Structure 1
Amino acid sequence: MRRGVSVSLSTASYLFTLLITCANANSVPYLQPGFSFDFVGSETTVALPVTAQCETISLKWSRKSTAKGPPPIAPYFLQVFSSSSPSPFSIPAGPGPTFDWQVPFAPQTQYQICMYDIQGTSGGCRAIRTMVASSTPNVSCQNVTSLPQLSASTPTDDQSKPITQPRVISQCSDFSVTPAAGTPPFTLTVAPSRHPPVNITSNGRDPIYWTVALGFPFFASLTSSDGLSWSRGPLYVDGQGPSDCLSPGALPKGTFTGATAGAGAGGLMLGAGLGVPRYVPDCSAKTRQEPHSVNERSPIYL
């Protein structure tokens, strides 16, 4: 039986950076989930995915027989994207297979949860949820701290538009992020709603491109090897662009220009140091798989 490992928030942030930085060990676009997670109780049947401020959500996860990724190893982590934060959050979720979390975001914030194990094996991402006011007066809960912020830019950043206006990008167009600080390599993570994420790693400061070939809204994050992070979202995809990237087997040339697509994070070795766990990345190449189209069917989480 595997034993759980207690991980502090600061250690979790450092660990998450290593997980993302090692994500170019293989060369297939979408991460192959090794497990899947879901909400517990009435949260699984709501028609409109909303969360009241400071509401406690319950999550559960397990490995299904259809999982294509490696078997997960505890402890687990939530990667939480928020429309109101310039960088994502890393929340230690313990050994599992259940976890309760009090969501502190303000009303009207949109957020999305993705999940990983200690080796970077993906558990996929859930649907985007919207925060609403609590029915309890004077509600309070513990705040969370986002990962250290990385300076970066994307063409979707239009300063002339209010921050509350949804960002929209056309199908089959290139979404790009340009790092302005931090130490290479940089990893762009695209996390579509109800879909496994994709990692694209670049060794320079040139723009990192991803061709949008999904109809799902998505969050995007950029992580540097020195522990800085940037995020945007949600971004919504309309049908006004071309459709050439949507045909079976299509892989637009610009999708991975100057970058490497990562299938999974490298294994992390657990050691001891100064009384806290120390994580050392092992980014040695594993069995390589043939690349597939960015619109090839992958598991969808409802």
Structure 2
Amino acid sequence: MTTIQQALQTAATKFSRTSHTASLDAEVLLSFVLKKPKTFLYTNPEKELTRSQRERFGRLVARRARRVPIAYLTNHKEFYGLDFFVDRRVLVPRPETELLVDVIIEQIANGKSQMANRELTIADVGTGSGALIITLAKLLPTICDSRFAIRYYGTDTSQPALAVARKNAAAHRVNVTLLRGSLLAPLKGKRVDILVANLPYLTPAQYQKNRDLRFEPRSALVAGRDGLEAYRHLFEHLERDGLDPRLIICEIDPSQSRPIIALARHHFPAAHRLIKKDLTGKNRVLIIKKNKAQTQ
């Protein structure tokens, strides 16, 4: 027979070759199999697993040892304190992406007095699992004036990804309009006040170097030779389709700070541009802010 402690030790040993969080990975998977919180594992180390539990845990351990993301094995990923369904149809939400939510909340809170008695439209292009726009739809009503109506949109080229986003929107009971299409194409003719984008930004070399990414959708990660192809297309769409958001917030790779600032300067020469660092001190978010005169 196998106890909880033995199962954890065996799994952690296997994961140590491929994961920097081997013990945590083992705990998450065994908690998932047992349908118990991690505290149960700590307080019941000598409890024996049933045969079905051992077999199921063994299958998950084998897949995790091949670098399949934990979130794909459990179909769950926490983002900004909320639980989201994920599978191989979508990119796994990253902790660093939570900074985009922080920036939007900060910008809206700081400008709330100017937004009263009007409607605000927020669009998330390349929405994937919907984690960003759904989180905003859950949180913003709690900080905005009741007279201040907000419309939420998410776009994606992938119908399978949108199916995941719709599942998450329903689970969180938020009113988010999810549309299929490239970048801003589904929103042509609509006013967009805040545009948020976590588009692909890796180079092929970065993707090949990181073996942990091979199970996630390549199209959601890689964007041309320099990793900026998706953002070039986005900025071109903004000009071509006449959409003029007064706030654009994009997640970037830290190595792209200078070229993406130059790209933003080219397309939005009169806008205020700045880079915000993540919790590790790396450049992570591009903020493009236009004044009222520019957006009228």
Q: Name the TM tier (shorter chain).
A: under 0.3
Q: Work out which of the two has the higher radius of gyration on C-alpha atoms and give 1 or 2.
A: 2
Give the helix-richer structure, 1 or 2: 2
Give the strand-richer structure, 1 or 2: 1
